[in-house]
Chain A
Amino acid sequence: EAEVAQSPRYKITEKSQAVAFWCDPISGHATLYWYRQILGQGPELLVQFQDESVVDDSQLPKDRFSAERLKGVDSTLKIQPAELGDSAMYLCASSVRRGSSYEQYFGPGTRLTVT
């Protein structure tokens, strides 16, 4: 069964450092999402891609976060500089439209700890 791949699974970094996460969606899924999940809360959308284009980045802190999906396949999310409040789980998902609904598939996530 195809899965969304993410790496690394865990990352510890010092504040003010740069950090990057990678996501490889399920083959053929045109839509890719990055979510941030703070401990004890539900995931919150950071950015949504349709192929290589950004369709929603309204909640992305653009002064320090950037995301790209250059060839419309895999994607990278970057934080520079990292802050203590960025400690969270970063989840990638991809989706396929089934009828009138989108069905999202999530990767295992990257747990970021900023010290």
Chain B
Amino acid sequence: GDSVTQMEGPVTLSEEAFLTINCTYTATGYPSLFWYVQYPGEGLQLLLKATKADDKGSNKGFEATYRKETTSFHLEKGSVQVSDSAVYFCALVNTNAGKSTFGDGTTLTVKP
């Protein structure tokens, strides 16, 4: 079945540091890939997405590129802020079924 593997956390960075959170997936067919962010006590917010190979999703300074050859969708940001502290989830959607399969999340803490 479909699966998503994220790098284990927690990740602690200083403000303005470079961020990478690794995500790899296993899926049949050609899934769409997503990154979600979850702040304490809240639901999930869509951060960015990519629907086909070599697509780059971007939003709020975050980027991720759909790499079919390495089955990866790593999240990056050039300069993190304290307000980026949250839990980040990588997910895929099987386009036939429409349901999401999530990784276990990576907790990011950014210190001033």
Contacts of B104 in A (CB 8 A): 40-42
What interface size band does chain A fall in? 20 to 34
Instruction: Give the tally of cross-chain contacts (CB within 8 A).
Output: 68
- Tell me whether B81 is interfacial, beta carbon within 8 Å: no
Pick the residue among B34, B41, B43, B102 that contacts A107 (CB under 8 A).
Answer: B43
Which residue of chain B lies nearest to A111 when distances are taken between CB atoms in the complex?
B41
Pick the residue among A31, A91, A108 that contacts B98 (CB under 8 A).
Answer: A31
- Chain B residues with CB under 8 Å of chain A are 4, 30, 32, 34, 36, 41-46, 49, 51-52, 89, 91, 93, 95, 97-100, 102-105
Chain A stretch 37-55: residues in CB contact (< 8 A) with chain B: 40-45, 48, 55
Contact indicator B45/A106 (Cβ below 8 Å) = yes
Contacts of A87 in B (CB 8 A): none
| Known contacts A42-B105, A43-B100; A104 and B46 CB within 8 A of each other | yes
| Known contacts A43-B44, A109-B42; A95 and B103 CB within 8 A of each other | no
- Tell me whether A21 is interfacial, beta carbon within 8 Å: no
Contacts of B45 in A (CB 8 A): 106
- Tell me whether A14 is interfacial, beta carbon within 8 Å: no
CA distance A106 to B95 in the complex (A): 18
Which residue of chain A lies nearest to B91 when distances are taken between CB atoms in the complex?
A42
Contact indicator A91/B43 (Cβ below 8 Å) = yes
| Known contacts A42-B89, A107-B43, A108-B42; A102 and B102 CB within 8 A of each other | no
Contact indicator B99/A91 (Cβ below 8 Å) = no
- Tell me whether A99 is interfacial, beta carbon within 8 Å: yes
A sample of 12 more A-B contacts (CB under 8 A), given A42-B4, A104-B93, is A4-B43, A42-B91, A42-B102, A43-B44, A43-B100, A56-B97, A99-B51, A100-B52, A104-B34, A106-B36, A106-B43, A109-B43
The distance from the CB of B25 to the nearest CB of chain A, in whole angstroms, is 13
> Can you give 13 A-B contacts (C-beta < 8 A)?
A41-B105, A42-B104, A48-B97, A95-B98, A97-B98, A100-B30, A100-B32, A102-B95, A103-B46, A103-B49, A105-B46, A106-B45, A109-B43
